[in-house]
Structure 1
Amino acid sequence: MDKEAQKQRSKLKRRERWSRIWGDGKQRWVFITFALAVVLGLLLYFVIPRAPGVNWGDQTSSTALTSTNTSGTYSTTPTNFDFSAEVALDFDARGSYIPTKLYDLEAIIYDLDTTVQIGTGKMDGSAKLPGRSITTVTMPLLFQMSFTNTSDTTYSDVIRSCTNSGNSFPLTLSFTYKISGVIGSKSAKLQSQDLTCPVTLSLSS
């Protein structure tokens, strides 16, 4: 009987120690639920993708526009211009812990001074954005617009910038894009006075 009583007392003591540490059944469930919520919150923090920030390639606008090795032309009658280029963009995904995919990247190009549209851009396919890093993406641009006459300020701005090398080419690029795992389209806007025209336009005959 003494041994049996000792066993019972030992069992009761273990239960008491367990209860002091973990509480009763209801308290244990509260603790477990809270712990699971914390773990789930941490898990979601690390696995939910985030929309990246957008900047000029290499964080500078002066070299962001490059030529596509195709000639560009402009005309006075009719009044228009037509040339292509590429823009380098840095997508900052350092806020994400998992890789994501960039797709449906499009742009509308405006004259920075007159705010008139002078071109568009679209990236074919998609691009992988590794987490915790900055990825440079290149997007084709098409500068193509017609005007009433050569006195149009926007037309004059483009011709002045793109017929003489070294002249500034002030632009606004307005982007829309999608990120896998992120609901809806995202938008961004970049502006710069420091861009230079990547082509030298020639007068079409």
Structure 2
Amino acid sequence: MVGASREELVSVPVLGPEWQKSELHELSRRGKSAVRKEKRQRIWREWTRDQRGVCGVTWLTRKMLVIILSCMVVGTALVLFFTIPRPPSYSFYVSQPFTVNNSTVQFARTPANFSFTGNLNILADTTSSYLPLQYSDISVQLYHLTTNKQIATGNYGKNKVKKGNQEPVSIPVQFSYSAPNATDTTWNDIYSACGHMWTGTVRPPLRLRLVLTSNIVGLVTKPETSTQISDVTCPFELSSNSV
């Protein structure tokens, strides 16, 4: 008996489309990196041609971004121009740059010294500033004009000066000086300028140099002003029985 032969059916998977070499390359790590790089280059070219916006904002093209940044720069410059304080210029009261508390006046010959307190009266010209000036500190030093020796110091402390043509500022000052004897030029000049006015006596004027340092809120630097105070009459008169 002839055995019946039976063919076995073998299932073969259906073949898909063949992969291109370029497609296989794109699946690799290097290929993916190249694709991302090409995408970035394409986006950059489109943005430089004003065909694409920034960060997904379609209207924020390169041209529009340049306009916005330019407006911001101009706006910032205008704000700084009007808000940054400008150091004022200073001048003295012509008639009375100093006022002195007479009860504090002390002079001695041996050792030669003097001390007294008072106020330095100046005018601050703030017309160059568009806002009031806020001082955190104003310090002053007074020197004898001829010998250049310091004879007084003062401090204004925190204060505000409104914007105006010439705003008065009165700074408390402490005069203090000592020397070995009365032949010292600095002591002798101050004593002569403030001495008792006997009949026929002509007192010489005070000749001083002022150094004023301003610490203004909003300014990094501390502007310093130096000026001479010449031909100023001493604001007090020593008694007839003074040293």
Please give the TM-score of this superposition, normalised by the length of structure 1.
0.77
Contact 1:65 1:196 (C-alpha < 8 Å) held by counterparts:
no
Question: In the alignment, which residue of structure 1 is the partner of 2:233?
Answer: 196
**Higher normalized contact order (CA 8 Å, seq sep 6+, divided by chain length):** 1
Q: Secondary structure at 1:197's aligned position in 2?
A: coil
How many residue pairs end up in the alignment?
178
Q: CA deviation at 1:133?
A: 3.7
2:82 matched to 1:49? Answer: no
Change (3 A) 1:139 1:132: closer
Contact 1:121 1:139 (C-alpha < 8 Å) held by counterparts:
yes
Map 1:111-130; keep pairs closer than 5 Å: 111-123=144-156, 125-130=157-162
Map 1:133-144; keep pairs closer than 5 Å: 133-144=165-176
Q: Deviations over 1:129-157 (max 9, x none)?
A: 22354321101222211111111111110
Give the one of 178, 189, 192 matched to 1:160.
Answer: 192
2:205 matched to 1:175? Answer: no
Q: CA deviation at 1:30?
A: 2.2
Give the one of 214, 219, 223 matched to 1:186.
Answer: 223
Q: Secondary structure at 1:170's aligned position in 2?
A: strand
Q: CA deviation at 1:25?
A: 4.1
Q: CA deviation at 1:69?
A: 4.2
Question: In the alignment, which residue of structure 1 is the partner of 2:183?
Answer: 151
Contact 1:97 1:132 (C-alpha < 8 Å) held by counterparts:
no
Q: CA deviation at 1:112?
A: 0.9
Q: Distance in 2 between matches of 1:152 and 1:69?
A: 23
2:63 matched to 1:27? Answer: yes
Q: Is there any run of 5+ residues in structure 1 with no aligned partner, and where?
A: 1-23
- The structure with the largest strand share of the pair is 1
Q: CA deviation at 1:199?
A: 1.4
Q: Secondary structure at 2:91's aligned position in 1?
A: strand
Question: Structure 1 vs Structure 2: percent identity of aligned residues?
Answer: 31
RMSD (Å), alpha carbons: 2.2
Please give the TM-score of this superposition, normalised by the length of structure 2.
0.66
Q: Distance in 2 between matches of 1:110 and 1:116?
A: 5
Give the one of 135, 142, 164 matched to 1:109.
Answer: 142
Q: Distance in 2 between matches of 1:146 and 1:174?
A: 20
